[in-house]
Each structure stands twice: as C-alpha cells, then as structure tokens.
Amino acid sequence: MNKTVTMKELASVIGDDKTQLAIDAFQGRPLYFPKKRHMIQFHNQEEKEQHIKNLFFKAGYSPEEIAAELELTPKHVRDIIRKR
C-alpha cells in the first residue's frame, strides 16, 4: 500500500470542489492524516496537555481512562500530569 494519497483519491472522498479549496489554501505544504480516530482536536500541544490535566484533576479520570479516550499510553498521560 502506497503511503501517499493522491489528489484524485482525496477528491473521491471529499469531492472535487473541496479538494480544489484545500489545494488553493494549502498548496506546497505537506499534509498528514493521523491514524487516531478520536474526534477531539487540539490546536496545539499546550491545549492537549491542559485538557488531560482537566480530566485528571477536575473530572477525576484515571490516567488509564484518559489514555484510552485519547488513544495515548498511560505513561505519556502520567508524564503530562506530572508537568504541572
């Protein structure tokens, strides 16, 4: 399986018009599609870390629960929580 997605493949999923809009807006820049399928999107790492800390300190989630929800490892979650 080729790791590169062609514009034709992209257009077959989102349509020609939206593909052209994406090309016009982002031409010349690389695009990465993460494997993770969760719907929560973060604008930057700081926002993601704050969300994790809120889940732990305010909502009472365990590192294991947060890791499962965000498709991270519990160790990574614990490292973020320790940053305080």
Per-residue model confidence as pLDDT tens digits over 22-52: 999 999 998 877 666 666 778 899 999 999 9
Q: Tell me the mean pLDDT in the region 48-75.
A: 94
Q: Confirm if 70 and 42 have CB atoms less than 8 A apart.
A: no
Does residue 74 form part of some domain? yes
Give the list of residues 6+ apart from residue 67 with CB closer than 8 angstroms, or none: 73, 74, 76, 77
Phi first, then psi, for residue 71 (nearest 5°) are 55, 50
Q: How many structural domains is the chain composed of?
A: 2
The answer to whether residues 54 and 79 belong to one domain is: yes
Does residue 76 form part of some domain? yes
Which tokens hold the place of 13? 């999923």
The answer to whether residues 50 and 29 belong to one domain is: no
pTM for the full model? 0.57
The answer to whether residues 51 and 21 belong to one domain is: no
The answer to whether residues 28 and 50 belong to one domain is: no
**What was the pLDDT predicted at 2?**
64
Q: Confirm if 63 and 81 have CB atoms less than 8 A apart.
A: yes
* Mean pLDDT estimate for the chain: 89
**What was the pLDDT predicted at 4?**
84
For residue 49, the enclosing domain spans 45-83
